[in-house]
């Protein structure tokens, strides 16, 4: 006797747990919890002094002792965009009369095309979770107070458009945007 499979039609609401964006720019999940994304500002650890790296590690250690709510660290690769540089080089190639300079510009253009195809930029994010918007405000205050924002800080806030783009990338793994 052959069993017949029941076909299940899932809607996007069954798959994605985000229901809305609040007025403060947080994401409300289907269970009522709040989610927020903060970008981690990366540093060049190769050319940074060991004292500065140790100081950053101490700041993270202190932060993790104080922060008790759930969080995730997310890493995403983005294709590099050299469109502006390519447009400038195209303009220079079309306007120059010096053939040697034109060859150098074309070589640089070929390098940019290769980089655009083979190079990616990696970005890192904290995904925070809280029960209420008030608790999320407190969590973000803890982040900014201990890790800092701005030029010397370790995190930065993002626009709602960028956060939506990140959520889209997380839900659509094959998206190349």
For residue 43, the model assigns a pLDDT of 81
Give Dmax (Cα) for the chain.
82
Digit-coded pLDDT (tens) for 43-81 = 887 888 889 889 888 988 988 888 888 889 989 887 788
For residue 41, the model assigns a pLDDT of 87
Digit-coded pLDDT (tens) for 129-164 = 999 999 999 988 888 888 877 777 888 888 888 888
**Residue 41 is encoded by which pair of tokens?**
């500002």
19 or 109, which is more confident?
109
- CA atoms in the 13 A half-sphere facing the CB of 123: 17
Using the predicted structure, report yes or no on whether residue 91 has a pLDDT greater than 90.
yes
Tell me the torsion sign for CA atoms 161, 172, 16, 129.
Answer: negative
CA 29 to centroid of chain Cα atoms: 20
Q: State which H helix or E strand residue 141 sits in.
A: helix 133-147
For residue 87, the model assigns a pLDDT of 92
131 or 11, which is more confident?
131
Helices (H), 96-132: 99-118
């Amino acid at each position: 006797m052959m069993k017949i499979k029941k076909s299940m039609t899932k809607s996007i609401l069954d798959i994605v747990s985000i229901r809305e964006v609040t007025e403060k720019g947080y994401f409300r999940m289907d269970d009522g919890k709040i989610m927020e994304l903060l970008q981690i500002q990366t540093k060049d650890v190769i050319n940074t002094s060991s004292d500065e790296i140790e100081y950053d590690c101490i700041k993270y250690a202190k932060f993790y002792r104080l922060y008790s709510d759930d969080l995730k660290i997310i890493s995403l690769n983005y294709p590099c965009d050299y469109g502006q540089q390519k447009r400038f080089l195209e303009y220079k190639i079309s306007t120059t009369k010096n053939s040697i300079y034109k060859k150098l510009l074309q070589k640089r253009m070929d390098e940019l095309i290769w980089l655009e195809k083979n190079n990616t930029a990696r970005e890192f994010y904290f995904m925070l979770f809280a029960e209420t918007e008030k608790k999320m405000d407190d969590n973000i205050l803890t982040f900014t107070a201990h890790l800092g924002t701005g030029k010397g800080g370790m995190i930065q806030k993002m626009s709602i458009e960028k956060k939506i783009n990140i959520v889209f990338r997380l839900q659509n793994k094959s998206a190349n945007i």
